[in-house]
Amino acid sequence: MTAIVPATDAGLALAATALREGRPVVIPTETVYGLAADATSPDAVASVFAAKSRPSDDPLIVHVAPGLLPRPRVEGLVTLGVVAEDLEPAQRATADALVDAFWPGPLTLVLPRGPAIPLAVTSRLESVAIRMPAHPVARAVIEAAGRPLVAPSANLFGRISPTTAEAAQSELEGRIGLVVDGGRCDVGVESTVVRVDADGGLGLLRPGAVTRVDLERVAGTSPYDVQAAEGIAGSPGRLLRHYAPSTPLVIVGTGPSGWQEPRWADLRRRLAQGTGRLGYIAWSSPSEAIRIALGGASTDLHVRTLAPDGTVAEAAHSLYAVLRELDELKADLLVVERPPGGGGLADAVADRLGRAAHGTPPLA
């Protein structure tokens, strides 16, 4: 049985006790719900990998809170034993600037690993990923547990991240005991992950709500794309297929202009091979024309809108909940409109959709 408890003093105390005893607990953060466990205990960390069926070569992010840090900035992380003490001066200066600007918040820093973090957390890498979440419940749980916590997304490996307590519960039902309810996640997609190099340069490992422009403004250097520069090997855990519903998913351009006859024929063919049920996820309100055309191709059409207000923030906020809801329909196909613009948070949404669609042939 997996119970949901409210984030009251009693709920937080239950969570803290479980964490101190080495049992994982689901907690809310501003990005997505995380499966938290004691980051200093190899056994607790092993139970997180087991509960998620996550391969051991996909490293975890260590979550800290202000109350754990005896000193500000990187110095506090060094004192806690999370980060190594022998950082290069330029590396420390860049990391300090990013901590000052973006913590607490949806930015994860990859730095040299400190002695308090077992190799099981980092998949045997000598670097460690660290974040200070802004969600008040995440902060309260970390401080009550009194130690840094790993907290990968609270879903089975490769699947859609949960953004509500109920979604986390249904993902991990029977695999873990406790979910702390902190409401719907604000940001809705995972943190930006950036590696801080010895020379103070920045390697972007995963796009998120802290954007390239934000990073460049603060660090004074423009981040390079690690996966493009070093391939999959430089970017552990960045699998081509990830964040994926079990229903096949394809991405299309916004609006009817991209819809020529070969595409309609391909869509009709795929639906004719199945039940005819189609999930269509529009960016903003879809035109009447596309609704009518989709209704002609599908015998059972379900349309959802990611951003009724037209903002990328709203789309990111609702993305996983909408994917999860439509996945439950067991449709033949999910069709998602790609973000109309590029840059900023739209890059994070496009990144997640691209990985969710990996392996399904695109529409003609």
- Which residues in this chain contact ligand AMP in the complex, by CB under 6 A? 58-61, 110, 122, 125, 127-129, 152-153, 190, 193, 205-206, 236-238
Residue number, 122 or 169, with CB nearest to ligand AMP: 122
Shortest Å distance, C-beta 85 to ligand AMP: 17
Among all residues, whose Cβ is closest to ligand AMP?
237
Could you say which of ligand AMP, Mg ion, none residue 236 binds, taking C-beta under 5 to 8 angstroms by partner kind? ligand AMP
Residue number, 16 or 121, with CB nearest to ligand AMP: 121
Stretch in the footprint of Mg ion (CB under 5 A) among 64-72, 147-155, 227-235, 245-253: 147-155
In the block, which residue shows the tokens 């994917």?
323
Residue number, 152 or 245, with CB nearest to ligand AMP: 152
Residue number, 127 or 360, with CB nearest to ligand AMP: 127
Footprint of Mg ion on 3-22 (CB under 5 A): none
Position 29 contacts Mg ion (CB under 5 A) = no
Could you say which of ligand AMP, Mg ion, none residue 112 binds, taking C-beta under 5 to 8 angstroms by partner kind? none
Shortest Å distance, C-beta 54 to Mg ion: 8
Residue number, 122 or 153, with CB nearest to Mg ion: 153
Query: Which two tokens mark 147?
Result: 């130690």
3-state secondary structure string across the chain: CCEEEECCHHHHHHHHHHHHCCCCEEECCCCCCEEEEECCCHHHHHHHHHHHCCCCCCCCEEECCHHHCCCCHHHHHHHCCCECCCCCHHHHHHHHHHHHHHCCCCEEEEEEECCCCCCCCCCCCCEEEEECCCCHHHHHHHHHHCCCEECCECCCCCECCCCCHHHHHHHHCCCCCEEEECCCCCCCCCCEEEEECCCCCEEEEECCCCCHHHHHHHHCCCCEEHHHHHCHHHCCCCCCCCCECCCCEEEECCCHHHCCHHHHHHHHHHHHCCCCEEEEEECCCCCHHHHHHHHHHCCEEEEEECCCCCCHHHHHHHHHHHHHHHHCCCCCEEEEECCCCCCCHHHHHHHHHHHHHCCCCCCC
Shortest Å distance, C-beta 243 to Mg ion: 7
Position 153 contacts Mg ion (CB under 5 A) = yes
Residue number, 78 or 363, with CB nearest to ligand AMP: 78
Could you say which of Mg ion, ligand AMP, none residue 271 binds, taking C-beta under 5 to 8 angstroms by partner kind? none
Contact criterion met (CB below 8 Å) for 90 and 267: no
Residue number, 110 or 271, with CB nearest to ligand AMP: 110
Could you say which of ligand AMP, Mg ion, none residue 122 binds, taking C-beta under 5 to 8 angstroms by partner kind? ligand AMP
Of the candidates 60, 62, 59, 82, the one whose C-alpha atom is nearest the C-alpha of residue 70 is 82
Shortest Å distance, C-beta 70 to ligand AMP: 24
Shortest Å distance, C-beta 35 to ligand AMP: 9
Residue number, 55 or 67, with CB nearest to Mg ion: 55
Could you say which of ligand AMP, Mg ion, none residue 238 binds, taking C-beta under 5 to 8 angstroms by partner kind? ligand AMP
Binding site for Mg ion (CB under 5 A): 153
